[in-house]
Amino acid sequence: MNETIRNILARRSMRSYEARPVEEEKLAAILECAQFAPSATNRQPWHFTVVLSRAMLDKISAENKKVMLASPDEKVRQRAQDPGYDSFRGAPMAIIVSGAKEAAYAACDCANAVENMAIAATSLGLGSCYLGSFKVAMERPEGAHLLAELGIPEGYVPLYALSIGYGNESLGERAPRKEGTITFIQ
């Protein structure tokens, strides 16, 4: 097994972080990896919002909390009731990835970019968490002001986010993989 495969397999969801910021050179390398992800017909239908402001992450999180507290799903309400609730898992920063609405493969292309960043972060000794639920408020009309504040261009929608930082928890055993997911055609 080589170093790259070791890092692909070592990537885990980190849900607790130290406060210390991510170094600029590391962030630059992570963003370069994002931009060189494969995209259908090399369209690169993505926009990256690099949120280095914890105040902005707290603001998004507070708006999400309001939406979640009004959810018909009890589990969602319970999660938001946690006094320590944070959509970004306490990370010092997060990168929000938005996709062009009219790019047919944007969901795929942007996922490739996030996965590249997550692997790069692992290789640099950083933890990360791939997030989908960070956008519940900004998807609604009353939270749409956040799109402008985050510099998300017209015609793009937030799809995923990656929180990044130095991990502050030791991760246990990996969850087992599902059985029977591979068919060989010889």
Q: Which is nearer to its own copies, 16 or 112 (CB)?
A: 112
If one asks whether residue 87 binds its own copies (CB under 8 A), the answer comes out as no
Q: Which stretch binds its own copies (CB under 8 A): 5-13, 62-70, 84-92, 163-171?
A: 5-13
Q: Which stretch binds its own copies (CB under 8 A): 64-72, 78-86, 136-144, 178-186?
A: 178-186
If one asks whether residue 78 binds its own copies (CB under 8 A), the answer comes out as no
Contact 97, 47 (CB under 8 A): yes
Tell me which residue has tokens 């956040």. Answer: 146
If one asks whether residue 183 binds its own copies (CB under 8 A), the answer comes out as yes
CB of 171 to its own copies, least distance (A): 13
If one asks whether residue 71 binds its own copies (CB under 8 A), the answer comes out as no
Helix (H) or strand (E) holding 49, with range, is strand 46-51
For the chain, the distance separating the N- and C-terminal CA atoms, rounded to the nearest angstrom, is 25
If one asks whether residue 175 binds its own copies (CB under 8 A), the answer comes out as yes
Contact 94, 54 (CB under 8 A): no
Q: Which of 134, 150, 152, 146 is nearest to 61 (CA)?
A: 134
Among residue numbers 108 through 167, which ones bind its own copies (CB under 8 A)?
108-109, 111-112, 114-116, 118-120, 122-124, 130, 132, 149-152, 159-160
Contact 59, 86 (CB under 8 A): no
Query: CA 40, 97, 14, 138 torsion: positive or negative?
Result: negative
If one asks whether residue 48 binds its own copies (CB under 8 A), the answer comes out as yes
CB of 141 to its own copies, least distance (A): 21
> Distance (Å, rounded) from C-alpha 126 to C-alpha 148?
29
Beta strands per DSSP E along 91-171: 93-100, 127-131, 156-165
Binding site for its own copies (CB under 8 A): 1-5, 7-9, 11, 13, 29, 31-33, 35-38, 40, 42, 44, 46-53, 56, 105, 107-109, 111-112, 114-116, 118-120, 122-124, 130, 132, 149-152, 159-160, 174-175, 177-178, 181-186
